[in-house]
Amino acid sequence: MDRRIIIIIAAVLLIAAVLLFIFVLRPGGDDEQLTAAELEFQKIRNNTLILAEDYMEKGDFQRALDLLDELLIQDAGDVDVQALRDRVLAARDAATSELALEEKQQQDDLVETLEGLGESISNNPPIVNITEQKDTSEEDQRRLAEQLAALEEQKRLAEERRKEEEARLAALSEAERQKAEKVRQLIDEGVQHMEDEAFASARSSFDEAIELSPREAEAFAHKGESYFQEDKTNQINIREAVEYANKAVDYDKSLWIPHNTLGKIYVEAKNYTEAIKEFKEATRLNPENTNILYELGKVQYRAGQFNDARMSFEGVIHLEPTHHRAYYNLGASFLKLGKASSALGAYQKAIAANPSYDSAYFAAGNLYNQAGELSQAETYLKKAATLKPDKIRYLDVLAVVLYKQGKYPDAEKYLGKSLDIDADSAESNYNMALTLMKQDRHSEALNYSVKSVQLDSSNAGYLYTLGEISEALGDRTNAITFYEKSAGLNSSYLLPRINLGKIYDETEEYDKALEHLITAYKLDSESLEVNNNLGNVYLHTELYEDSIKHYKKAIEKKPNATLIRYHLAIAYIENEQQALAVKTLSELIKVDPNYWDAYYRLGHLMFKDGDEEGASSIFKALLDKNPDFEKRAEIENLIL
């Protein structure tokens, strides 16, 4: 019996067995003993559990919990509902932690993605220059020197203020000193409570300090900061934070803390102009605090002030030479300024400062990839993927680099890891399809290509590749369908139109072929593939002048394209331009001394033109080089 029939029968039997179990043999089938009301509640309960689980899987945890709470009100002892509620709570906590970690990473790292860079293997990213270049202009160097000098001056002034404060405290009476020490103690206690995230206790300590010293600016400042740290998304907290920060500024213009708090509040509101102003003031008042200067650099970057951001990050490094994140963000700033070599140097210094810094390895690897230095790119990207093996982007871009080097099995391995983490990544499925195609594993590639289209049917590239695979598997009908859809989605996409032109040329549907190829020619009149295929269609439709025009344009793009030269010669022959045909075939033999059909055609042309000696010479050269030429007998009859 046919193996496929056996499999189908087995599948039918399996489905029948499953249905039999569900509807007939399932244990606990005592529904007939339940009342109509109980049956209705059971139905509602089961549907509610299904809906709650669906909400949980989609991340809508609160709606899931609300549904489960309603069930627990009806039956507080329902263990199934309790178990699902525990799962929802655990999933919510995990998602919250992951989101917080991700937000922190985004805050810390200004991850820079170069224009044109994507994970997709089919992308052709722009080449960047990472050779040595002058890092900064003389004006930039002057400004940086001035900024660093200003930092040193600010440090000097801050030290003077500290000494003045010490002198002021020393001049206090004993009672005043004791009160000042108590205020200091309460403020320190409040700060410790903040570090422990006990914000109510922190504010209680600050309030006690304010009772002792009603104009104690630092207590007001920390109280404002406590509201911000407690919940920066709560508008009531934000109002309180702003109020107390402003009071602190009113009471002490030399205190940096409230300006730092206000800066962070403005960042959250995306009011970068005011945030920059506040962080600059905080930096002036506390020039040795690298965290403030670092935050200033980040907000300058977000505001598009990339050169100012660069100088801020360099200021951080001046104060703290091992600040790896400052090096990383300095690299991002250099990239925005078009200085790829300097960016690469900054990323490498970030790695030197922190050898486990995966983001810097990835950024450096990206730059090497952009520059076409694929071996170096592979080294850095493999390190990034080793440090963070579950980061899909690292795995995907590493696979791209391996693919570009022709290391298809290795690319397949890393794409497999990526898909193990997220099987529903359209990009990863697409790249896997391309990688398998390169290994002539089109049947396997088909599954991944289909899935990429199912996940994102609006991507013209995905549809084009599905068309390519279908064509390779001999399914020309579906190939045409996918190419047509691809071209319809992106009217400026050449590749599907080129392939449609080829297919319609082969099926002698020349009008359709010309429709696509002429459209493609309007998009890119210099395309080798477009001109070659137009040459073919015009040759087949006996429009030889047009055919010659396009073959010549194609050869200009690729002078060593032997088949195109051969077809050009055929077009000259058909157009009765024998001299040009002879010239073209002679040039073809120089380009490829083993192009046997060129010898054969050239010999016949020479005989036709009466050059029997030249023809004999060409034919003898052909038979000497290729004694087994299939038309040997015909040639020997001509020259003997």
The distance between the two most distant Cα atoms of the chain, rounded to a whole number of Å, is 129
pLDDT per position as a tens digit, 107-130: 455 544 333 334 566 655 555 666
Q: End-to-end distance of the chain based on CA atoms, in angstroms?
A: 62
Closest CA to 419 of 386, 382, 392: 392
Coil/strand/helix, residue 213 = coil
The answer to whether residue 634 scores a pLDDT higher than 70 is yes
What's the confidence (pLDDT) of residue 39?
67
Q: What is the mean pLDDT of residues 404-419?
A: 97
More confident residue, 580 or 126: 580
Minimum mean pLDDT range among 23-32, 288-297, 318-327, 493-502: 23-32
- Which residue shows structure tokens 């040997």? 632
The answer to whether residue 539 scores a pLDDT higher than 70 is yes
- Which residue shows structure tokens 């047009």? 546
What's the confidence (pLDDT) of residue 571?
97
The conformational region for residue 475 under phi > 0 = left, psi -120 to 50 = alpha, else beta, is beta
pLDDT per position as a tens digit, 319-375: 999 999 999 999 999 999 999 999 999 999 999 999 999 999 999 999 999 999 999
What's the confidence (pLDDT) of residue 279?
97
The conformational region for residue 542 under phi > 0 = left, psi -120 to 50 = alpha, else beta, is left
Two structure tokens written together for 617: 């010479």
pLDDT per position as a tens digit, 56-65: 877 777 777 8
- DSSP-derived secondary structure for 60-84: -HHHHHHHHHHHHHH-TT-HHHHHH
Where does the pLDDT of residue 176 fall: very low under 50, low under 70, confident under 90, or very high at 90 and above? confident
What's the confidence (pLDDT) of residue 7?
40
Contact yes or no for 303/272 (Cβ under 8 A): yes
Where does the pLDDT of residue 598 fall: very low under 50, low under 70, confident under 90, or very high at 90 and above? very high
Question: C-alpha distances in angstroms, 271 versus 109, 265, 636?
Answer: 19, 9, 88
Question: What is the radius of gyration, based on Cα positions, of the chain?
Answer: 37
User: In whole angstroms, what is the distance from residue 536 CA to residue 418 CA?
Assistant: 42
Find how far residue 482's CA is from the centre of its chain.
Answer: 26
User: In whole angstroms, what is the distance from residue 635 CA to residue 616 CA?
Assistant: 9
pLDDT per position as a tens digit, 182-201: 888 999 999 999 999 999 99
557: amino acid identity, one letter: K
Tally Cβ neighbours within 10 Å of residue 271. Answer: 15
User: In whole angstroms, what is the distance from residue 319 CA to residue 456 CA?
Assistant: 48
Name the range with the highest mean pLDDT among 131-145, 154-168, 468-482. Answer: 468-482
What's the confidence (pLDDT) of residue 56?
80
Contact yes or no for 185/213 (Cβ under 8 A): no
- Which residue shows structure tokens 């660069």? 310
Two structure tokens written together for 33: 């003993």
Minimum mean pLDDT range among 7-16, 254-263, 290-299, 447-456: 7-16
User: In whole angstroms, what is the distance from residue 384 CA to residue 361 CA?
Assistant: 5
* DSSP secondary structure code for residue 55 in this structure: H
Q: What is the mean pLDDT of residues 417-446?
A: 96
What's the confidence (pLDDT) of residue 569?
96
What's the confidence (pLDDT) of residue 14?
36
Coil/strand/helix, residue 502 = helix
Contact yes or no for 148/318 (Cβ under 8 A): yes
Where does the pLDDT of residue 71 fall: very low under 50, low under 70, confident under 90, or very high at 90 and above? confident
What's the confidence (pLDDT) of residue 210?
92
Total residues found in the chain within this entry: 640
What's the confidence (pLDDT) of residue 160?
63
| 430 φ/ψ angles, rounded to the nearest 5 degrees | -65, -45
The answer to whether residue 30 scores a pLDDT higher than 80 is no
- DSSP-derived secondary structure for 311-362: HHHHHHHHH-TT-HHHHHHHHHHHHHTT-HHHHHHHHHHHHHH-TT-HHHHH
The answer to whether residue 2 scores a pLDDT higher than 60 is no
Coil/strand/helix, residue 624 = helix
Number of alpha carbons in the 13 Å side-chain half-sphere of residue 69: 7
Where does the pLDDT of residue 153 fall: very low under 50, low under 70, confident under 90, or very high at 90 and above? low
Q: What is the mean pLDDT of residues 7-22?
A: 38
The answer to whether residue 146 scores a pLDDT higher than 70 is no
Residues 6+ apart with CB under 8 A from 455: 424, 425, 426, 429
Closest CA to 230 of 219, 221, 238: 238
pLDDT per position as a tens digit, 90-104: 777 666 555 454 444
More confident residue, 215 or 414: 414
Contact yes or no for 392/428 (Cβ under 8 A): yes
User: In whole angstroms, what is the distance from residue 294 CA to residue 286 CA?
Assistant: 13
Helices 442-455 and 426-438: crossing angle in degrees, nearest 10, is 160
Q: What is the mean pLDDT of residues 608-623?
A: 91
* DSSP secondary structure code for residue 34 in this structure: S
Where does the pLDDT of residue 47 fall: very low under 50, low under 70, confident under 90, or very high at 90 and above? confident
Q: What is the mean pLDDT of residues 289-302?
A: 95
What's the confidence (pLDDT) of residue 67?
81
More confident residue, 158 or 216: 216
Closest CA to 260 of 230, 236, 293: 293
Find how far residue 158's CA is from the centre of its chain.
Answer: 44
- Which residue shows structure tokens 């627990």? 72
More confident residue, 271 or 640: 271
Closest CA to 435 of 459, 407, 460: 407
User: In whole angstroms, what is the distance from residue 363 CA to residue 234 CA?
Assistant: 35
Two structure tokens written together for 424: 């529903």
- DSSP-derived secondary structure for 239-287: HHHHHHHHHHHHH-TT-SHHHHHHHHHHHHTT-HHHHHHHHHHHHHHST
Question: C-alpha distances in angstroms, 462 versus 158, 417, 454, 489?
Answer: 60, 21, 10, 11
Where does the pLDDT of residue 421 fall: very low under 50, low under 70, confident under 90, or very high at 90 and above? very high
Residues 6+ apart with CB under 8 A from 255: 217, 218, 221, 248, 249, 285
Minimum mean pLDDT range among 113-122, 273-282, 313-322: 113-122
What's the confidence (pLDDT) of residue 201?
94
pTM: 0.72
Contact yes or no for 310/333 (Cβ under 8 A): yes
Work out the mean pLDDT of the chain and round it to a whole number: 85
Contact yes or no for 482/470 (Cβ under 8 A): yes
What's the confidence (pLDDT) of residue 166?
62
For the chain, what percent of residues have pLDDT higher than 70? 80
Where does the pLDDT of residue 209 fall: very low under 50, low under 70, confident under 90, or very high at 90 and above? very high
Q: What is the mean pLDDT of residues 169-191?
A: 78
